[in-house]
């Protein structure tokens, strides 16, 4: 990549949206062939919630919604890297409107939603393959570990989550 995408400068450039959604915060390397097994998407939100069977299981105010997927080679080290990046990513505006503040610095909220479909591979055929996604049992263990570690970060506001493996409905107002 020639440069990092700046959402303020490049507002409205849809060709860059997926680059931001799969930003280096979710990768150990910028090189596509050396991507980290764990994949995630971050969305800065004014508020977000997740419901299962019409019951809200998690809700946040200003902060980050993270869709988190786990691949076969993932481990706690990969998830710790993503958690550290997530809470320290400077994507919130300071008093001058510059993106200089992290989730921790604003005591923002974090909503964590498991999302194996991040591993959908639709390069061949018309139906995505999810072979690269981790099997449910170890993926749930990593997901729960991620939530536990996030809740241990005292500088954060509310840490909420969905229910692993459930049919979740996510609602958000992006920021």
Q: Which tens digits make up the pLDDT trace of 76-119?
A: 899 899 999 999 999 999 999 999 999 999 999 999 999 987 87
Is 116 assigned a catalytic role?
yes
Candidates 46, 80, 117, 148; catalytic one: 117
pLDDT above 60 for 5: no
Surface-to-core class of residue 108, CB atoms within 10 Å of its CB (0-12 exposed, 13-18 middle, 19+ buried): buried
Q: What is the pLDDT of residue 120?
A: 83
pLDDT above 70 for 124: yes
Alpha-carbon distance of 77 to 37, in angstroms, equals: 11
Is 57 assigned a catalytic role?
no
Candidates 116, 130, 148, 164; catalytic one: 116
Q: What is the pLDDT of residue 90?
A: 96
Q: Regarding predicted confidence, which is higher, 56 or 135?
A: 56
Alpha-carbon distance of 35 to 79, in angstroms, equals: 14
Count other C-beta atoms under 10 Å from residue 69's C-beta: 24
Candidates 41, 51, 57, 115; catalytic one: 115
Please state whether the predicted TM-score (pTM) of the whole model is above 0.75: yes
Residues 6+ apart with CB under 8 A from 171: 48, 49, 50, 51
Q: What is the pLDDT of residue 38?
A: 64
């Amino acid at each position: 990549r020639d440069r990092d995408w700046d959402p303020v400068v490049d507002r409205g450039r849809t060709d860059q949206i997926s680059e931001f959604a799969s930003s280096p915060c979710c990768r150990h390397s910028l090189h596509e062939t050396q991507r980290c097994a764990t994949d995630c998407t971050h969305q800065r939100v004014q508020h977000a919630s997740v419901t299962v069977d019409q019951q809200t299981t998690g809700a946040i105010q200003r902060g980050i919604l993270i869709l988190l997927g786990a691949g076969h080679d993932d481990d706690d080290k990969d998830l710790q890297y993503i958690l550290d990046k997530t809470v320290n990513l400077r994507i919130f505006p300071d008093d001058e409107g510059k993106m200089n503040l992290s989730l921790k610095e604003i005591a923002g909220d974090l909503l964590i939603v498991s999302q194996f479909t991040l591993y959908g591979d639709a390069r061949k055929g018309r139906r995505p393959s999810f072979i690269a996604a981790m099997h449910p049992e170890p993926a749930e263990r990593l997901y729960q570990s991620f939530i536990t570690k996030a809740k241990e970060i005292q500088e954060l506001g509310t840490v909420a989550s969905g229910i692993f493996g459930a049919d979740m409905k996510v609602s958000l107002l992006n920021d």
